[in-house]
Amino acid sequence: MANEVKPGSETIGAAGPKSKMTLFKDDRAEDIGAIIVTVIVVAIIVLLKMK
Amino acid sequence: MSNESPGFFRQLPSALPGLALIIITMVVIRNWIEPWMAVTKVFGMQKPLTDAFHLNYILIGIIFGLLYRNVLFGGRMPEIFSNGFKLSRLMIKTGIIMLGSLYTFSAIVQLGSMAIFLIGGFVILTIIMVLWLGKVFGLDRSMTGVLANALSICGVSAAVATSPAVEAKASHVAYAIATILGFGILTMFISPFIGHTLGLTDLQYGAWIGTGILNSGQVLAAALAFNPNVAPGTAVSVAEIWNIMRVISIPFAVFAVTVWYWAGKTEIEGGKQKSLGTLLVEKFPVFVIGFMVMVLFTSMGAFGSVGLKGGLPPSETIKTLRLVMQWIFGFGLVGLGGYIDFKELRQAGGAPLKLGLIVGVTKYVLALVVVLLIKDSLVSI
């Protein structure tokens, strides 16, 4: 067995998906998720402040 | 073996209880606990919690997360709250992308050029030191490779990113992560105290912890614990540029350690060593692109005045963005605290722990010394 660690499986001492420290499938998906959330939050703030 | 887990959106409803716990915790801390700390008197001392121990909503939030997991829930996050706490890194990354609204491109170039110099030097020196000490302590090459990147770049992410390239076992990664997180938790709490005691400026402090602390979340926590304000020139604005520079170097460091690992093997198993190009495509942290786009919009004036030193005051949009960022970081760091498990930290031990502590302490102290030596050359934004 070479390795079972997946990106995103960052909980200490546990390499499997059960203890992943993210709801995303890996780090890359989480990064994209963060970009999408940012776009939504920033868009809401800009719209609210637009008078 | 299938490692497939249900998709993000299918798991999202189950994350709501944990998310609610995180949000309620931070609302209670910011509205009641922090104001109480600011006026309370203990043993005749006025405001000792804020003035002497430099506690603020960030550190209190992490402590709450820690207590939930390790005391209230007996070492394991209950199923009902588990998925909500898994959103903590998403929140931290979202906050970091939004931090792009603190900078213009010229400020990034000013800070970034200093950061490249310090980060680059420390990453290379740390890798060399770990590889040498790994040999001295007789550590397994896979373990040494994982520790080299865990201690030189970005803690947990680097350890995980390096592990497949150096054929590391799960136990290697667990040892490395337990070591660096244990050390990082300590530095996260003592750094603000040291910074205030030495009278460091936000710029000096941000440069120091951005270089000396190993884990992204801990850099963020230590910066906000020193100064909870989110604005250009504050500790978090400096530390995060250092942090971004370090995160960007992950694929390069993974490549360097992979080359070292395979060069030392007598029989090369075909196809296992990846090229730098492949590693860049696979491992580049794309949230950094989001951060740079945010900087681009800010530089173009899309959100109004940023409030840089000597310029116009920040616009209402920028002020709201910063307020929202403070809350998002607060939520993310309560979640981070909930992922610190003392039982798992006890896995650290033996030679990997010794090596980790020697290198971690050296880097932490040396970074402070270097920052103090070059303090007059550090450029403020």
pLDDT tens by residue, B85-112: 999 889 988 998 998 888 888 878 877 7
Assess whether pLDDT exceeds 50 at residue B313.
yes
CA distance linking residue B80 with residue B59, whole number of Å: 25
Q: Which two tokens stand for residue B321?
A: 């963005």
Judged by CB atoms within 8 Å, which residues 179-218 of B form the interface with A? 181
Q: Residue B149 — pLDDT band, cuts 50, 70, 90?
A: confident
Please compute the mean of the pLDDT values over residues B126-154 and round it to a whole number.
89
| Inter-chain Cβ pairs, chain A and chain B, closer than 8 A | 133
CA distance linking residue B259 with residue B276, whole number of Å: 10
The residues near B223 (Cβ < 8 Å, ≥ 6 apart) are: B205, B206, B209, B210, B234, B235, B236, B238, B239, B240
pLDDT of residue B26: 96
Considering only A1-5, B171-175, B372-376, which range has the smallest mean pLDDT? Answer: A1-5
Residues of B in contact with A46 (CB under 8 A): 302-303, 317
Q: Which positions in chain A have a beta carbon within 8 angstroms of at least one beta carbon in chain B?
A: 1-17, 20-25, 27-35, 37-38, 41-42, 45-46, 48-49
Query: Do residues B87 and B15 make contact, with C-beta atoms less than 8 angstroms apart?
Result: yes
CA distance linking residue B89 with residue B147, whole number of Å: 22
pLDDT tens by residue, B39-83: 887 777 777 677 666 778 888 898 999 899 999 998 888 999 999
Assess whether pLDDT exceeds 50 at residue A17.
no
- CB-count burial class (<10 Å; 0-12, 13-18, 19+) for A47: exposed
Assess whether pLDDT exceeds 50 at residue A7.
no
Q: Which residue, B165, B93, B249, is CA-closest to A29? A: B93
pLDDT of residue A4: 45
Assess whether pLDDT exceeds 80 at residue B308.
no
pLDDT of residue B52: 65
Q: Which residue, B329, B284, B338, B364, is CA-closest to B96? A: B329
Q: Which residue, B180, B169, B181, B127, is CA-closest to B149? A: B127
Assess whether pLDDT exceeds 60 at residue A5.
no
Considering only B67-71, B155-159, B208-212, which range has the smallest mean pLDDT? Answer: B155-159
Residues of B in contact with A45 (CB under 8 A): 317, 320-321, 324
How far away is chain A from the Cα of B104, in angstroms, using its nearest Cα? 17
Query: Do residues B41 and B107 make contact, with C-beta atoms less than 8 angstroms apart?
Result: no
Assess whether pLDDT exceeds 60 at residue B336.
yes
Assess whether pLDDT exceeds 50 at residue B258.
yes
Q: Residue B348 — pLDDT band, cuts 50, 70, 90?
A: low
CA distance linking residue B8 with residue A32, whole number of Å: 12
Share of chain A above pLDDT 70, in %: 59
pLDDT of residue A8: 42
Determine, for residues B94 and A6 on separate chains, whether the beta-carbon distance falls below 8 Å.
no
Assess whether pLDDT exceeds 90 at residue B205.
yes
Q: Which two tokens stand for residue B372?
A: 């103090």
How far away is chain A from the Cα of B332, in angstroms, using its nearest Cα? 12
B2, B3, B321: best to mutate for the A interface, most A CBs within 10 A:
B3
pLDDT of residue A6: 45
DSSP of B323-349, one letter per residue? HHHHHHHHHHHHHHHTT--HHHHTT--
Of A17, A35, A49, nearest to B317 by CB-CB distance is: A49
Please give the residue that has the higher pLDDT: either B172 or A4. Answer: B172
Q: In which element (H, E) is residue B42 found?
A: strand B41-42
Considering only B4-8, B62-66, B151-155, B209-213, which range has the smallest mean pLDDT? Answer: B4-8
Q: Residue B297 — pLDDT band, cuts 50, 70, 90?
A: very high
Please give the residue that has the higher pLDDT: either B187 or B1. Answer: B187
DSSP of B83-129, one letter per residue? HHHTTHHHHHHHHHHHGGGG--HHHHHHHHHHHHHHHHHHHHHHHHH
Determine, for residues B321 and A22 on separate chains, whether the beta-carbon distance falls below 8 Å.
no
CA distance linking residue A8 with residue A19, whole number of Å: 10
**CA nearest to A22 within chain B:** B86
Task: Provide the whole-model pTM.
Answer: 0.80
Of A1, A7, A13, nearest to B160 by CB-CB distance is: A7
Judged by CB atoms within 8 Å, which residues 287-306 of B form the interface with A? 287, 289-290, 294, 302-303
How far away is chain B from the Cα of A45, in angstroms, using its nearest Cα? 7
